Amino acid sequence: MKTPVVLIIFNRPDFTQQVFEAIKAAKPEKLLVIADGPRNDTEAKRCADTRSIINQVDWNCEVSKFYSEKNIGCRPFLAQGLNWVFEQVERAIVFEADCLPHPTFFRFCEELLEKYADDSKIMHISGNFFQQRNPAFSSTDSYYFSIIPHIWGWATWRRAWKQYDPDLKQWPEIKENKTIAKTLTNPAAYEYWETIWDQYYDRKIESWDGQWTFACLLAGGLSINPTKNLVTNIGFGPEAMHTIDPNSIFANVPLKAMTFPLTHPEIIRADTSADTFTLRQNFGIDAKLRQRILGRIRRTFPKPYGFLRFQIRKLFGK
């Protein structure tokens, strides 16, 4: 496989091994590995064990490493690491260490990275399909277009990544002018992301992916989402940073093979019906006023909201 592959690792050798085996089967010519340092002495051995997996590369492959000996943190280090990647390569397929791909995902990305290489409207290729519970979704194409860039296994180009800013320096001006509202026309969705980006800007959220969503929406960019699930998140559990609930409907979604040749959509535009479903299912965004108010309270005061919801459920049994 000609397309470079990026593997982001940290302290979970069991999941990293599984994802590494999938990459090994694809045999990319170039593998770029990003690894932040341990947060404490207890974690150091697990980080070292995770890094040792990369020594198992036994095919013709150029391996480059972006490792830190001390812990930098998810937000700054991932931004530095991905900037390092796209300083070296024009395009890449990216995995975090708990995102397990189907073998056909590599070819899916490679073909579409080439097809849309010069189309600035397309900024992201995802491996995730979350329309299984949507009775209104139907497509004979291999993928559909979305305004939502899912990041559990994804690919992009240097030209798109150049628009990424981990600190959201433009946010105050964009918020005042409501520039993104032109792309994110669902008012409930805009309110949701406005609250989220406020927290990113104020450094109350120390993750990296909300800024990528911001960059894509600000540019009016589209994501390619497959119509079969090509990457599954196997890392749900108490040790995860964000995906804690092992019973989540998004945990271990079954993988499906993509068929080739690919069937391409005739028109390049977002599937608004699929996006509405995703906003409601994945992000809890509902256009109804009551849900919008509750959503804003939940995002602004997550701990009190969670406590009150628990008490109400205990009192009324639901």
Structure tokens at 105: 């995902």
pLDDT classification of 252: cutoffs 50, 70, 90 = confident
Confidence (pLDDT) at 150: 97
Backbone angles phi, psi at 6, to 5 degrees: -110, 135
Cα separation, 60 vs 62, whole angstroms? 7
Residue from 277, 275, 298 nearest 183 by CA = 275
pLDDT recorded at residue 286: 77
Rounded to 5 degrees, φ, ψ at 313 are -65, -40
Taking alpha carbons only, the member of 225, 210, 317, 214 closest to residue 273 is 225
Q: CB 125: neighbour CB atoms within 10 A?
A: 29
- State both tokens at 228: 């079969």
Are the C-beta atoms of 92 and 3 separated by less than 8 Å? yes
Q: 189 Cβ partners below 8 Å, 6+ apart? A: 279, 283, 285
For residue range 182-232, list pLDDT tens digits in order. Answer: 888 888 899 899 999 999 999 999 899 999 999 999 999 999 999 999 999
Average confidence (pLDDT) over 80-108: 98
Q: Please state, in angstroms and rounded to a whole number, the distance separating the CA atoms of residues 257 and 104.
A: 6
pLDDT at 88: 97
> Which tens digits make up the pLDDT trace of 137-147?
999 999 999 99
Locate 147 and state its tokens.
């305004």
Give me the pLDDT at residue 185, please: 81
Q: Using pLDDT thresholds of 50, 70 and 90, give the confidence band for residue 243.
A: low
Flag whether pLDDT at 318 surpasses 50.
no
Q: What is the mean pLDDT of residues 48-54?
A: 98
Tokens of 151: 């990041």
What pLDDT score does 307 carry? 57
**Dihedral of CA 243/246/250/255: which sign?**
positive
Q: How far is CA 183 from CA 171, 187, 199, 246, 253, in A?
A: 15, 11, 21, 34, 29
pLDDT of residue 289: 45
Dihedral class, residue 79 (left if φ above 0, else alpha if ψ from -120 to 50, else beta): alpha
Q: pLDDT for 283-313, tens place per residue?
A: 988 765 445 555 556 556 655 655 555 555 5
> Which pLDDT belongs to residue 236?
81
Q: Do the beta carbons of residue 128 and residue 229 sit within 8 Å?
A: yes
- Token pair listed for 20: 């590494």
Query: DSSP of 199-239, one letter per residue?
Result: HHHTTS---SHHHHHHHHHHTT-EEEEESS--EEE---STT
Choose between 318 and 1: higher pLDDT. Answer: 1
104 CB-near residues (< 8 Å, 6+ apart):
230, 257, 258, 260
Average pLDDT of the residues in 277-288: 85
| Strand 30-35 to 62-67 pairing | parallel
Helix, strand, coil proportions of the chain in percent (round to 5)? 45, 15, 40
**How far is the C-alpha of 287 from the C-alpha of 279, rounded, in Å?**
10
Give the residues across from 145 on adjacent strands.
Answer: 224, 270
The average pLDDT across 234-238 equals 77
157-179 tens-digit pLDDT? 999 999 999 999 999 999 999 89
Question: Can you list the alpha helix ranges (DSSP code H) found in 89-182?
Answer: 104-115, 158-161, 171-177
Q: What's the pLDDT score for residue 315? A: 55
Is the pLDDT at 259 greater than 80, yes or no? yes
In the 8-state DSSP scheme, what is residue 251? B
- Alpha-carbon distance of 116 to 129, in angstroms, equals 20
- pLDDT higher than threshold 60 for residue 265: yes
